Structures are given as C-alpha cells and as structure tokens.
Amino acid sequence: MPRAGATLSVSHAAISQQIRNLESFLNVPLLDRTARQAQLTDEGLALAKVLSGSFEAISAQVTQMTTKDTERPLVVSTTPSFAANWLVPRLAEFRVKHPEVNVVIDANPDMSALGPTGADLAI
C-alpha cells in the first residue's frame, strides 16, 4: 500500500481507510492482513483485475478524445488578397520551422465561421 499511496499522493493511512470502507460496503474482505504484508484475497484479485481493465479502457478513451484534433489541419480563413500577398509567401518558412503543423488556407472574401467545424483562425 505504500506504493499506492505514493502513486496517488496520499498517505498509507488514507489508502487503508478507503480499502476498509470498500470492504465494509461490499461486505467482502479484499485484503488478507494476517501476514506481515497484506495480500489480496481471491475477491480482491478479481476486483483488481476488472478495475485494471476498466482504468486502461478509460485511459485509452481519454487519450483518443484529447488527441483527435492533433491530426486536424490548422484552418486559416483570410481574404484572397492577404493570402496571396502576405500569407502564402511566408508559408514555406513556417512549414520548415513547424513541419508538424498542417496549414490549410481558406481564402474567401467572406470570412469562415470560427469553431470546431470551421476555421481555427481568421485574419
């Protein structure tokens, strides 16, 4: 339990109290405390296995949700004259400095709407 406390940045006593609360709620012992070092019971092992898989699934989903826009290009909405006379001539240098950023220029006299389905930046 000391490793669990360190991982969660809480005390050993806090971990112990939460495990006792869970055992009380479930009315099932999760730890065998008779040895020098507590060991998971069969029920504790079964619960730990399910929880571990669940936490991995949550982590994978959060990663997918937080990285889905990293592959999306940066959409810049601007007027055709600004794009042609200022932005496009500087784009090559920007791409050399930031090859990970894919830039799409929306050169339109009417500015595109900003937001998740529109432009990210309007000049």
Element (H, E) at 107: strand 103-107
DSSP string, 60-104: HHHHHHHHGGGGS-EEEEE-HHHIIIIIHHHHHHHHHH-TT--EE
Q: Where in the chain is the domain with CATH 1.10.10.10?
A: 2-67
CATH class of 72-122: alpha beta
Q: Which CATH number fits domain 2-67: 3.60.20.30, 3.10.310.10, 1.10.4190.10, 1.10.10.10?
A: 1.10.10.10
- What pLDDT band is residue 1 in, cutting at 50, 70 and 90? low
Digit-coded pLDDT (tens) for 3-57: 777 777 888 888 889 999 999 999 999 999 998 888 999 999 999 999 998 998 8
* 90, 82 Cβ separation under 8 angstroms: no
Q: Where in the chain is the domain with CATH 3.40.190.10?
A: 72-122
Cβ neighbours of residue 37 closer than 8 Å, sequence gap 6 or more: none
Is the pTM higher than 0.85? The answer reads no
Measured CA to CA, the distance from residue 90 to residue 123 in angstroms comes to: 14
Nearest Cα residue to 47 out of 71, 66, 23, 68: 23
